[in-house]
Amino acid sequence: MRWLPLLVVLLAPAALADTIAGKVVGVHDRDSLTVLVDRRQIKVRLADIDAPELKQAFGQRSKQSLSDLCFNKSATLEDQGQDRYGRTIARARCAGEDASREQIRRGMAWVFDRYVKDRSLYADQDAARTAERGLWVDPKAMPPWAWRRAKKLSEVP
């Protein structure tokens, strides 16, 4: 047990290295932000969620919801790597509020089944669906990954 304090001291810097603090200076769409960190802009894709595309029903409302949550507010990011577009994938807390969880609670996003790490988000999604909040007013709401796939198939000659 004498090694435990030493282990905590050794691991603490690694845990802190994955957290980034800054200010949200842009909301690009329903699940992407730009965060200013030390005069450098970082493009961020919110982890664990996928929100309606801008041309889908609730796409504009989802973007407005994320803007209300995060724009011009302080943010802490839990870095989870990068996506194929070079954006930082992160869970973002805007002014202390978990943006991914709040978008789910408001019915402005789906849990991104393919990439979700925080499975507790499903309970929030179920509650939003039961209460018919946001996009859940439509019983046939289409997840964005299915919408993108259908759009891509319709464009094939």
Q: What is the residue extent of each domain of the chain?
A: 18-155
Alpha carbon distance 122, 59 (integer Å): 20
Q: Is 119 a catalytic residue?
A: no
Q: Is 155 a catalytic residue?
A: no
CB atoms within 10 A of CB 129: 16
Residue 149 has pLDDT above 60, yes or no: yes
pLDDT at residue 156, as a whole number: 66
Q: Which amino acid is at 53?
A: E
- Write down the catalytic residue from 30, 53, 101, 102: 53
Name the pTM for this structure: 0.84
Tens digit of each residue's pLDDT (9 = 90 or more) over 85-95 = 999 999 999 99
Alpha-carbon distances of 84 from 44, 45, 46, 87, 89, rounded to whole Å: 12, 11, 14, 7, 10
pLDDT at residue 157, as a whole number: 66
- Write down the catalytic residue from 30, 39, 45, 61: 45
- Write down the catalytic residue from 87, 91, 101, 105: 87
Q: Is 129 a catalytic residue?
A: no
In the block, tokens 């030493």 appear at 6
Tens digit of each residue's pLDDT (9 = 90 or more) over 99-146 = 999 999 999 999 999 999 999 999 999 999 999 999 999 988 999 999
pLDDT at residue 17, as a whole number: 44
- CA neighbours within 13 Å on the CB side: how many for 29? 16
pLDDT at residue 59, as a whole number: 93
Tens digit of each residue's pLDDT (9 = 90 or more) over 30-57 = 999 999 999 999 999 999 999 999 999 9
For the domain spanning 18-155, the CATH number is 2.40.50.90
Model confidence band, residue 155 (pLDDT cutoffs 50, 70, 90): confident
CB atoms within 10 A of CB 154: 7
**DSSP state letters, 6-60:** HHHHHHHHHHHHTEEEEEEEEE-SSSEEEEEETTEEEEEEETTEE---TTSTTHH
